[in-house]
Structures are given as structure tokens and as C-alpha cells.
Amino acid sequence: MNKQKKPEPVDVHVGSRVRLRRTLLGMSQDKLGKALNLTFQQIQKYERGANRIGSSRLYKLSQILDVPISFFFDDMPPEVTGKAAGMSESGKQSFEVGQLSRRETLELVRAYYRIKDPAVRKKLFEMVKALGKSSLNMEND
């Protein structure tokens, strides 16, 4: 009986961050695989956390995806880090990490960065923040 080993939560998180960044860049698994001399199936395994990414490969991924290595570990949930619940800056986790990798979120971020004028981008950012705060205030009323 060959029992499949469950992926480590850190490997799953790092893989999801690879997928997040790759998708934000509009890069296919095949293109990323070619840049690393790997098959797209290997990239799939990395993104699912089924295969662990070694340090040299993680370094190469950070260069290809144009992010610092720390990006792959950012927003790690408390159940992975062992951090006590409620230790985020706001005192509680109000935004689920899973929402960051939803297609809607990724498309919104891509569209936002297509806005060439930094002043327009900043105004849109401020508007969205204000709308988010007003929605939060309505929920608390």
C-alpha cells in the first residue's frame, strides 16, 4: 500500500505565492518552466506544494518573477508560522489570504497597474480605500 504524503503547509504557501506572482505577470506555467529548464508539470507540482522548492531554485524564481525572496513567505497564515491568533497589525485577520489569489483580485491588480498616470492611480487607490472603509462602517452600524 503506497500512502501519499501530504505536502507541508509552508511548501503549499510558497507554491501559492509563485502562482500568485506568475499570474499577476500574465506568465504561463510553460513559460516559467522554460525559464527554469523545467516542464510545466513540475511548475504545477511546485505551485500545489507537492514538490518542495530548493533554495537555489527559489532564488532563480525570485529573479524571473522580479520579487524579493521574502515575497514567497509574506502573508503566511498563523497555522503555518505557529504565530498566535490575533497577532496581525489590526489585532485580527480581516482579509483572507486566499482572496489574494482569486482571479478577480489578480485582474483588478493587473488593470490597476495598467493605469499609466501615477496621479490617477493614486486617486483610484484612495477612492477604493474610502469605499472599503465606508462598507466596513455600514457593517458595524
**What's the pLDDT at 65?**
95
pLDDT of amino acid 91: 44
Domains of the chain and any CATH numbers: 1-76+97-101 (1.10.260.40)
Please indicate, yes or no, whether the overall pTM of this predicted structure exceeds 0.85.
Answer: no
**Residue 50: what pLDDT?**
93
pLDDT at 40: 94
For residues 30 and 40, the answer to whether their CB atoms sit within 8 Å is yes
- Residues in the chain predicted with pLDDT less than 50, given as ranges, are 1, 83-94
| Torsion angle defined by CA atoms of residues 43, 52, 107 and 132, in that order, rounded to the nearest 10 degrees | 180
